[in-house]
Chains A and B, each alone.
Chain A
Amino acid sequence: MDIPYTFQERRDTGLTNGKIGIWLFLASEVMLFGALFASYILIRTGSPSWPRGDTVLDVYLATFNTIVLITSSVTMVMAWASLMRRKFGTFRLYMGATILLGAVFLVVKYFEYSHHFAIGEGPSHSNFLAVYYTLTGLHMLHVFGGMVVNAYFWGPGSKLYQTNPVWFTNRVEHSGLFWHFVDLVWIFLFPTLYLL
């Protein structure tokens, strides 16, 4: 039996299953990161001393990564807009750029992590670094997850466009919502960990 309302909107809600599903998932993600942010506040305010982020971490690399992630959000939304215009070639270009920018973000984080581990600054080194690795590690997993989904829609998943472009466009919109959420989390992580 086919799943209903995969691309046709329900009359009562005006939404497809996928749209309501992704937003409910993102709501649960807000609570996940909310719990970690609350833990951060608790640990920081309960600590007798707390270093400024820029004395421990590399602000320039993080600023570069912020620019990378914001740019990837724009390319993601442009990929969706290309599908809305029924320009599949342009979609693949923008989606490819989004995946590439996600990879750049992870590579930069790899260099950041490697540097800290090389000088013995692992998660057990201090409360600050424990919080840093927990929050950025979870965020990196989200970036990687988003990249996998986007890569699927760039490659094998794009076959759906030939048979049902509306459904495919909806799917890309939903993966885009997740990607923008990942960007949104970083927008708060960046000043919290690196600048304050």
Chain B
Amino acid sequence: MSSDHGATSDHADHAGHDPADIDRHVKVYITVFVALMILTVVTVAISRFHLSVPIAVTVALFVAIVKGSLVAGYFMHLVSEKKLILAVLALTVAFFFVLLALPVLTHENGFWIPNVEQAAPAHTEEPHK
């Protein structure tokens, strides 16, 4: 089995970054930070309008998705991440949406959960002893 312990040379080239590259990254981090602060204020400000629930949910989730994308893309470096990581995350996101869809399916008289109103009479007709 190979070992990479002890090799500490060429620090500046770690992960393909040079000092100038890091300086550019830092500027991006500061910009993202400002954007996140503005979007936080926007989120709270929009909630003060007391919009109807569907519109409020849509707007709040849209702003949260933009903020989340900024964090994942730049702070977590997903914009420049390797394909294997992106593939793992794509699979995760797909299953995440399946999870979120489960409650929706149950409310549309879902494919496998029986309708409560249809199921109820079967119990009530049973004679009491």
Contacts and interface: CB of A to CB of B under 8 A. Distances in A.
Interface of A: 1-2, 4-8, 13-15, 19-20, 23-24, 27, 30-31, 34-35, 37-38, 41-42, 45-46, 54, 59, 63, 66-67, 70-71, 73-74, 76-78, 81, 84-86, 163-166, 169, 176-177, 180-181, 183-184, 187-188, 190-192, 195-196
A196 B60 CA distance: 8
A47 B71 CA distance: 33
B84 A8 contact: no
A191 B61 contact: yes
Given A67-B40, A70-B33, A81-B26, A180 B95 contact: no
Interface string B91-125: 11101100110111011000000000000000000
Q: Tell me if A's interface is mostly helix, strand, loop or mixed.
A: helix
20 contacts: A4-B3, A19-B85, A31-B92, A42-B102, A42-B106, A46-B107, A67-B40, A74-B30, A76-B75, A81-B22, A86-B11, A164-B5, A176-B75, A180-B76, A181-B76, A187-B68, A188-B64, A191-B43, A195-B47, A196-B47
Given A70-B36, A74-B29, A191-B61, A23 B85 contact: yes
Contacts, number: 149
Contacts of A166: 7-8, 11, 14
Interface string B46-75: 010000010011001101100110011001
Contacts of A45: 103, 107
A184 B44 contact: no
A191 B76 contact: no
B4 to A, nearest CB: 4
B99 A34 contact: yes
Contacts of A196: 47, 53, 56-57, 60
Contact of B4 (A6, A41, A66, A187): A6
Contacts of A85: 19, 22
Contacts of B99: 31, 34-35, 37-38
Q: Which 6 A-B pairs have the closest CB atoms?
A: A8-B4, A42-B103, A191-B60, A195-B47, A2-B3, A27-B92
A81 B29 contact: yes
